[in-house]
A and B are shown apart, each in its own frame.
Chain A
């Protein structure tokens, strides 16, 4: 034992966990979902159960079984967070998955670590988005192709008054309003940013109207040539089926991905 700590502590003198304790931690993390006993952890650490307990207490400040419990709680938390709405997952199920025999006791421990009830985690993360609206149930795939649909081209021409002011204004709007995800800010040229702003408005407008679903938004940017003319832009002719390959050569430039690359 002592010699193990010593040899790990040499060099920088900063690693204080002995090899057996590290082995035990690794074993616990890898096997937390199985039924494991102190003897199993001890065997993995090559110490006796009593020796492991003493080493763990000294180095980690909790017993191996307490450590195992906290790893399992973490697992419960993760699974609750990752639950999908359609999955109908219950707290009891997750608790069983992580080998908690008593859901009530697990819930108490969970609350003391995470500050909220496990059921709250499950409900909050799988039920509602930040607006308090119910997250859209996945209706796609149900006779999706059978529903009538069409494409609409809104051809806009945009004038740039002041690019810096525009950038600052977009950032400010996003800092105050809802963003795609925390800290998200768009990057790119003026055209990319204008496409972003208008696309955003489009999504908002479409979601305010009942009875339609906005399937896709495809910005297609055209800049004037030296004579001030815009190159003609044809819609890429994609269908629901396999795309038409022969069109490709002619329409390279209509791919916004090509232009931003």
Chain B
């Protein structure tokens, strides 16, 4: 992959890009006019975090309102949804959305799920004013960028409830247990220790439970993270 792509990806991963600018790299690297990055659905809430222009935020808004559209589909299927000619060959899965978006300058629309392992956090919407195909390599690049955004959105959600909040209990025994559970997650998945910890916190956040309780479930074997069909699933 190109040097510019790699540089952009590492900038996204490092946190040097501000939340409000998360949509910028997508527009710069891909043949699209606009982009929006949003959290969608329960439990992370519907919120546009970064939109490159009015149309991009409008596309989000319509989907928030209607509760249907490519974003929802991308999140549900945990796969990109590619509509390269939405005016003439739109999917029949979201008739209301198609109808509503017909009045926007949108010819092609691509939605990528934003996930962190099993956690479905939101979606990235890309649009072009005219029908536009995406090459497989571009789909791969957009997926990689979306995954990098996933870590950011999750960190953001966890930070929003504040350190010392209900999710992370600072008592030493809790911390020890969470640490121990992180090691168990590391025996289950090929991720870094920091990401394993983030996964525990995200899981706790999604269920509105303290991280310590999640850690207990991991330690007792009640909760496992497993790869299945290319996706991570939680078995409880």
Please report the total number of B residues contacting A with Cβ < 8 Å. Answer: 63
A233 on the B face (CB < 8 A): no
Q: Pick the contact of B99 from A13, A60, A193 — CB < 8 Å? A: A60
Chain A residues with Cβ below 8 Å from B175 are: 248, 255, 257
Q: Pick the contact of B192 from A15, A135, A192 — CB < 8 Å? A: A192
CA–CA, A135 to B187, complex, Å? 15
Which candidate, A39-47, A98-106, A125-133, A154-162, is the interface stretch facing chain B? Answer: A125-133
Q: When the two chains form their complex, are residues A138 and B93 in contact, meaning their CB atoms are under 8 A apart?
A: no
B189 to A, closest residue via Cβ: A180
Q: Could you give, for residues 196-236 of chain B, a 1 whenever the CB lies within 8 Å of some chain A CB and a 0 otherwise?
A: 01000000000000000000000011101011111111010
| A185-B144, A195-B192, A216-B187 known; A180 vs B95 contact (CB < 8 Å) | no
CA–CA, A12 to B43, complex, Å? 30
Chain A residues with Cβ below 8 Å from B115 are: 181
CB distance from B34 to the nearest CB of A (A): 15
Q: Pick the contact of B194 from A140, A141, A180, A192 — CB < 8 Å? A: A192
Q: When the two chains form their complex, are residues B229 and A128 in contact, meaning their CB atoms are under 8 A apart?
A: yes
| Interface bin, chain A | 35 or more
Q: Describe A's contact surface by its main secondary structure.
A: loop
CA–CA, A242 to B229, complex, Å? 36
| B21-49 interface (Cβ within 8 A of A) | none
B19 on the A face (CB < 8 A): no
Q: Describe B's contact surface by its main secondary structure.
A: helix
Q: When the two chains form their complex, are residues A16 and B103 in contact, meaning their CB atoms are under 8 A apart?
A: yes
Q: When the two chains form their complex, are residues A129 and B229 in contact, meaning their CB atoms are under 8 A apart?
A: yes
Q: Could you give, for residues 197-237 of chain A, a 1 whenever the CB lies within 8 Å of some chain B CB and a 0 otherwise?
A: 00110010000000000111111000000000000000010
B186 on the A face (CB < 8 A): yes
Q: Pick the contact of A188 from B100, B117, B194 — CB < 8 Å? A: B194
Chain A residues with Cβ below 8 Å from B220 are: 141
A29 on the B face (CB < 8 A): yes
Q: When the two chains form their complex, are residues B103 and A13 in contact, meaning their CB atoms are under 8 A apart?
A: yes
Chain B residues with Cβ below 8 Å from A182 are: 143, 147, 230-231
| A22-B66, A130-B227, A138-B221 known; A74 vs B93 contact (CB < 8 Å) | yes
| A142-186 interface (Cβ within 8 A of B) | 144, 168, 171, 178-186
Instruction: Mark A residues whose CB is within 8 Å of B.
Output: 12-17, 21-22, 25-26, 29, 59-62, 67, 70, 74, 77-78, 84, 113, 124-126, 128-130, 135-136, 138, 140-141, 144, 168, 171, 178-188, 192-193, 195-196, 199-200, 203, 214-219, 236, 238, 242-243, 245, 248, 255-257, 260
